[in-house]
Structure 1
């Protein structure tokens, strides 16, 4: 009679990690679809201007608007996730993202409804930000809290792999519609990737419905350890790991928007390359990124996550220089090699950072802590990166060194945060062991 129980216990961690991976892939498909469209088409449709630079900046500004909502959303969903459960929040965030992305695909442009077009676009973009703001922390916790303790770094990397898969799907969809003539692409072609989100929404919700609640949350609930105000508690008692975790994840967040969003605009506007060429290059790069991330997680699990992340962030400081040299050749093979060098290195940070930061927070405030840290970072660093990159490219036309230095600074911030958070965790572990022994 008890035979099914071990089987269920054995398969639930894999099922939870798989659901976190697929659900996050759907959410990031939606998010990257907007990012790609912002680089390619939204400026022309919603912010028409004779000055291409101003249209692009306006488009990237709406991209940034979505990031403004993310820290508040992370706090709200973190609070609810620490009080009523991780699973419920993930279903809500997925539904919100699907509705927002589908709505953008149906939204008339400036030529049809005038100023209401950009206003409604901004509102839907804010809704996207709210959804993804609550998504990341819950997905990471569902994967890691179901996992065996010795394998949490690896299992926590599954939601991170959803990011490149979402990007691959987004790039594929835009690669298909970008083959249309310009008028068709501007009129209706760009909308198709957004409308496809509704189908992915149904798939993601169905998969997540089949996963049980986090066992650590259930244990906390059973022991009456659920806090009334987890956000207030984490801000009061754990502000230091929040700051350090936000710094640590900088290149893992901002770096992708540098290589996968800003780079599209940079090479098409300032180097005169075709949309199809850069999308094809990024497609190959993202496949290599996807293959590299589980390897990074396994290496970190074997040799220590702090040591691995320290080296990854340091190497990432060096990679933008060969990347820009190779991109400047405009040779597809060289471009893929250069961008891959930067992306694989920064994605090594991204793959491991979730499992690295999670143990720094107690279970009762963990959803709130990691969500606030990650979303504050994405707002400050991720959302502004395409804007800063575009301003540097415009200011220093024909020069890539300022852009490379910007990338190096982002990596250096991560390196400082990783070292600091690693030391903080090492200092907390003896205290936790002593507390467990006392209890």
Structure 2
């Protein structure tokens, strides 16, 4: 018979109280409030999180695909703690050492010709301000973006978003959507990746011509669409988009909020595709969300446009010192500890091959997609392309959670997106749990 200590009993009661207070007073995002049963997370380290009852979980969600450096990294904590003793907040109109250093470290990793950063509070307002810059710079109103996308929950960002969350929030103007490549569910009757790419680019050019190139400020794309399914673009697609943008005098904005800063085994996901945008948006992995931060990395011609013109945008907490210190701590540690290299190698030698083996063993896996530590498993009825039912996906997710694995689930997909510091042993453990979950699903 198990004996529960007084300390454990107190912790369990405290956890129950926390959850009760949450249900009584906290209004959660993207949720029907009465259906929620949150876990009380009380501690975390690296890839492991712990709940109030002492259970440990491998965090293969990186929370919202943002804890790239892992939980409670000591170098990031030290940077934040040090900054609290120096300066905790300052208006963005003043210079500040943490902000200046963070901007330099970010632009050092960006392509040549990107020397300025506009800091925001997160990814949504990064995209919001990139859209604003593009419209101001070009004098054009329209933004083209993909149906399979998510760009944030503020006015223009949610309108640029293509998924269902856009529809009840369509109050901003000037947004047009198009389809991007997705061979498994091709909109173009394609039979190969080459056909899919060619036809998707033809479709995009037809949309540009139909809307009027002279009215289009920018094409906004997630380099690798994340929430929409980690849809790695086929070879030639992003360079093809860049060519179309140049042909019609349109800016290219690449949203690296989820895919950037190590997630894809490179500093930026677009490094895989031989393409350079005009504006780069970021957040999440730049400091793993330890203190909220995001921003726009601005190419020199656009930055110089505002040398003698007022940029009509700003935020009270743009470049907040604690967030900037977290960026400095994160990027320095990632560089010194080879964390981006680890993400790349884990993807090549552990996550990618391991998921491929799961696909071979499980007829409910229609496709595995990803790079670095950014992977999705698309689940369908066995040996078909019919999406797995929501109740079945929930059963897979719940089995994983009950057995110590937190995953990111969306529609008919399980996303495996651990911190960039994940080890081979942790990958093996996570894939064993997922494999067992699929065994139970396929036996039912």
TM-score (norm 1): 0.28
Q: Which has the higher helix share?
A: 1
Question: Going by fraction, where is strand more abundant, 1 or 2?
Answer: 2
**Scaled by the length of structure 2, what TM-score is found?**
0.28
